[in-house]
Amino acid sequence: LVLGFSSGSNGTFNLSGTGNLDSSYVFVGREDTGVFTQTGGTHSVSNDLNIGINSGSSGTYNLSGGTNSVSNNLNIGINSGSSGTYNLSGGTHSVSNNLQIGVHSGSSGTYTISGGTLNVNGNITDGAGASILNNDGGTLNVGGTIDVDTYGLGITSGSNVSHTTATTPNLTFDNLNVGGSGTGAFTHSDGSTLGLTDLRLGMNSGGSGTYTISNGTLNVSGSIVNGTGSSTLNIDGGTVNAGTIGVDNLNIASSAGTNGSHTLGSGESISAGNENIGSFGTGTFTQTGGTNTVTTHLNIGLNAGSNGTYNLSGTGNLTANSVLVGTSGSGLFTQSGGTNDISSGLILGDQAGGSGTYNLSGTGSSLSSDFEYVGLDGNGAFTQSGGTHAITNFLHVGRRSTGTFNLSGGSLSTDLEFVGHEGTGTFNQTGGTHTVTNNLSLGGLSGGSGTYTISNGTLNVSGDIVDGAGTGTINIDGGTVNAGTIGVDNLNIGNSAGTNGSHTLGSVESISAGSETIGNSGTGNFTQTGGTNTVSNNLLVGASSGSSGIYNVSGGSFSANNSYIGGSSVVSGGSGTMNISGAGDALISAALKLWDAGVVNLSGGMLKATSIDNTNGGTFNMTGGTLAVDTFTGNLAMTGGTLAPGNSPGLTSVFGDYSQDINSTLQMEIGGLLAGIEHDVLDVSGIMDLGGSLEVLLYGGFNPDAGDTFDILNWGSLTGMFDFLVMPTLLGDLFWDTSSLYTTGELSVGSAPVPEPGTVALLGLGVAGLGGMYLRRKRKQKVIHRQDAKSAKKNVRL
């Protein structure tokens, strides 16, 4: 039977119904065009069936029903310039020997099965021409091997077909097309090696192609590419070797229980819309070179129960829109080299139940992103020991879950940083350089808790270190912290045992803290040369046993509610020292307490306190400056400086002994007659040992009248006298009467009598001889006890 026998001819044969056709040889398209259409009946060929024989010929056989049996070979596209096509959409097609497609060079042949059954006892082979086998459905039974140029799955629109190497072994293709305009799935699971020039997935719009390898080796000398359809490559095991991979979805370990891996080396490239490393199973991606471009999401540990690992090293270049490590599963990203450039965000621990870890090391490693979450709704941990890490927008550590960032080397920079915003965030810096160009926030929202601990390296915050409605703590155990303003709940310097932390507060800087501890369990040193340090609760210096803390205030102002030197509020601790000098100003609104190893050195500036407790063996050295205190419990010895009782004016009570030497000054303000309210009073329960200067100041525009008396001193016992009395000038003929100062502790105001005319000159000379109102008295050693002065001294202590 010959269809299209000669050039210019066009032969057609239709077989249907229950008809029977027996042929020895069949030529469909011998010299020109031939078409054989079978919708039923039986067509038996005792020898060869040839479709598209000579140059310029075109032959087509369409089988949709009935039976076509070939006793020898089926040849599709035989000689150069010929084209042959066999379309099986129904019925049964049986070939007793071999099915040959594209027999000679220059020919082309296509066999498409979309329904029915194809039985080939021998092999499906290609010759020197172009051969295509399209599997769009139906049943394919091959006794031997399949070797064609191109094998296609799901090529025709509406088709949906899958192929498994375990059921059809011994495959050899130059090209494999999975999903043309239909849906195709190829499963490589038999451990075989499949070598391809190109693997094409999702070739046409509306098509979908999936290649899944779980056992065996896929070698692609050209490319794994996608078309305009949807393409997916699943690596659930085995090995994939390809120079270039470009797909919509790359999944490594796409199914639960699978263990897939892939390695990308130098000269190779991958381009994917989405990459899932550990989709449902355990997946590992190792990149030592080449380029990996992900236009949407790179998920590492995508679903619950999955495990994903990405290893980036060498000269590898990863570019992604977003990288999610531990999306809902467990993810690990290790970068020891190469470049990771993320145009959007890096998220570690994305969803609740997810857990993500990123390790960045190596001097040449580079990581950049727009924003980062370490613990978004899952748990995240970032460890950086080297490399360059640059974040354009913000870094969140513990956004709504638990996040930890460990920085020991390299550089980290970000615009904004939040540690413990709604969740629990911990930042540990043991080295490297950390730069925040805006604000660093610790404990941003209610319920959030943020802790920053630095023991080495440098933290530079161009803006402020602040806390919000949550709990913010900064521990300075070493290293350097540079910030404009620090405002946190807890500031600890030398927090951990064995650490040595220090911080300097300068003139344009400020700190606001709920509590401050200098030397908690380690060694802390705080130096304030200016600025403002405000502690709303407690300042502890040398808080715990074995700790050591020093607070030097030489400029600026410091205030706290309570301050404990050498211990805590309830127990003795380590060694604590507070040095107030220069222009430093310290205000303790409630209590200052010294423990046995606590030392306060006041040599300049001013110390104001409601109460000072020095009854536990501590040391209070006053060699300069000004002390204003309401209650001092313990012995107060002044070798310099000024004691200014009360708070303009007020009462200072010393429950102990009091002494001041020639270099010291007792400054008393007088603004009225009420003791301790309108004028200052110094009340000493023990021995009052006087020396140095008494300086009296009039306060609030007050001018005493003759007969006014001011009881300014009370004592248990008295020794010594002031070396200098510095008194304000009174109006008119009024003068200061100090005759009762050392008996009753009183100053009085007297009025000079009108002199006789002859004595005016002498009186004027006498006043001049007194040098105005500056009186010097020689110090006496007389001791006057309270009980010896009952007749002159009130028994009521003010």
Q: Which of 440, 458, 493 is the last residue of a domain?
A: 493
User: Which of 608, 650, 602 lies closest to 623, judged by CA?
Assistant: 602
pLDDT of residue 171: 74
Task: Give bridge partners of residue 374 from the DSSP assignment.
Answer: 348, 397
pLDDT of residue 170: 67
How far is C-alpha 518 from the chain's CA centre? 26
CA dist 446 and 782 (Å) reads: 65
If one counts every other C-beta atom within 10 angstroms of the C-beta of residue 754, the result is 7
Percent of the chain with pLDDT over 90: 90
Report yes or no on 352 lying in a domain.
Answer: no
Report yes or no on 398 lying in a domain.
Answer: no
Residue 760: pLDDT band with limits 50, 70, 90: very low
CA dist 252 and 278 (Å) reads: 6
pLDDT of residue 741 exceeding 50, the answer is yes
Q: Give a three-class secondary structure readout of 447-462.
A: CCEEEEEEEEEEEEEE
Task: Collect all residues with Cβ–Cβ distance below 8 Å to 674 and sequence separation of at least 6.
Answer: none
CA dist 213 and 168 (Å) reads: 15
Q: Which SS3 state, helix, strand or coil, does residue 102 take?
A: coil
> Percentages helix, strand, coil for the chain, rounded to the nearest 5?
0, 60, 40
Tell me the chain's radius of gyration from C-alpha atoms: 48
- For residues 593-611, give the mean pLDDT: 98
Q: How confident is the prediction for the chain on average, in pLDDT?
A: 93
Q: In which domain, by residue range, is 56 found?
A: 1-144
Q: Edge-to-edge, what's the strand order for the sheet holding 709-711?
A: 709-711, 746-751, 734-737
pLDDT of residue 610 exceeding 90, the answer is yes
Label the pairing between strands 724-726 and 717-720.
unpaired
Q: Which residue has the tokens 């079978």?
A: 38
Report yes or no on 695 lying in a domain.
Answer: yes
Residue 169: pLDDT band with limits 50, 70, 90: low
How far is C-alpha 60 from the chain's CA centre? 66
User: Which of 410, 453, 417, 449 lies closest to 433, judged by CA?
Assistant: 410
pLDDT of residue 787: 30
pLDDT of residue 441 exceeding 50, the answer is yes
Q: Are 103 and 77 in contact (CB under 8 A)?
A: yes
pLDDT in tens, 209-247: 999 999 999 999 999 999 999 999 999 999 999 999 999
Q: Distance between the two ends of the chain, CA-based, in angstroms?
A: 136
CA dist 96 and 380 (Å) reads: 63
pLDDT of residue 754: 55
CA dist 241 and 264 (Å) reads: 9
Write out the two tokens for 545: 């046993």
**CA dist 152 to 169, 186, 200, Å?**
16, 10, 9
CA angle 134, 140, 146 (to 5 degrees): 65
Half-sphere exposure of 688 (CA within 13 A, CB side): 27
Provide the domain count of the chain: 3
Q: Which SS3 state, helix, strand or coil, does residue 312 take?
A: strand
pLDDT of residue 758: 41
Bin 60: left if φ > 0, else alpha if -120 < ψ < 50, else beta. beta
CA dist 97 and 125 (Å) reads: 11
CA dist 497 and 492 (Å) reads: 12
pTM for the full model?
Answer: 0.85
CA dist 438 and 429 (Å) reads: 19
**CA dist 289 to 225, 233, 278, 332, Å?**
20, 20, 21, 19
Q: Are 203 and 179 in contact (CB under 8 A)?
A: yes
CA dist 767 and 443 (Å) reads: 69
pLDDT of residue 248 exceeding 80, the answer is yes
Q: Which SS3 state, helix, strand or coil, does residue 793 take?
A: coil
Report yes or no on 545 lying in a domain.
Answer: no
CA angle 102, 105, 110 (to 5 degrees): 20
Report yes or no on 449 lying in a domain.
Answer: yes
User: Which of 400, 417, 345, 408 lies closest to 382, judged by CA?
Assistant: 408
Q: Which of 121, 144, 167 is the last residue of a domain?
A: 144
User: Which of 81, 159, 74 lies closest to 121, judged by CA?
Assistant: 74
pLDDT of residue 161: 85
Report yes or no on 479 lying in a domain.
Answer: yes
pLDDT in tens, 97-135: 999 999 999 999 999 999 999 999 999 999 999 999 999
Question: Where does 580-647 have alpha helices with state H?
Answer: none
Report yes or no on 783 lying in a domain.
Answer: yes
pLDDT of residue 789: 33
- For residues 618-645, give the mean pLDDT: 98
pLDDT of residue 755 exceeding 80, the answer is no
**CA dist 680 to 637, 645, 669, 674, Å?**
19, 6, 5, 9
DSSP secondary structure string for all residues of 488-519:
EEEEEES-STT-EEEEEE-TT-EEEEEEEEES
Report yes or no on 239 lying in a domain.
Answer: no
pLDDT in tens, 469-490: 999 999 999 999 999 899 999 9
Q: Which SS3 state, helix, strand or coil, does residue 688 take?
A: strand
CA dist 125 and 463 (Å) reads: 73
Q: Which of 464, 493, 522 is the last residue of a domain?
A: 493
CA dist 39 and 61 (Å) reads: 11
How far is C-alpha 331 from the chain's CA centre? 16
Task: Collect all residues with Cβ–Cβ distance below 8 Å to 3 and sequence separation of at least 6.
Answer: 11, 12, 13, 27, 28, 29, 30, 34, 35, 36, 59
pLDDT in tens, 567-592: 999 999 999 999 999 999 999 999 99
Residue 158: pLDDT band with limits 50, 70, 90: confident
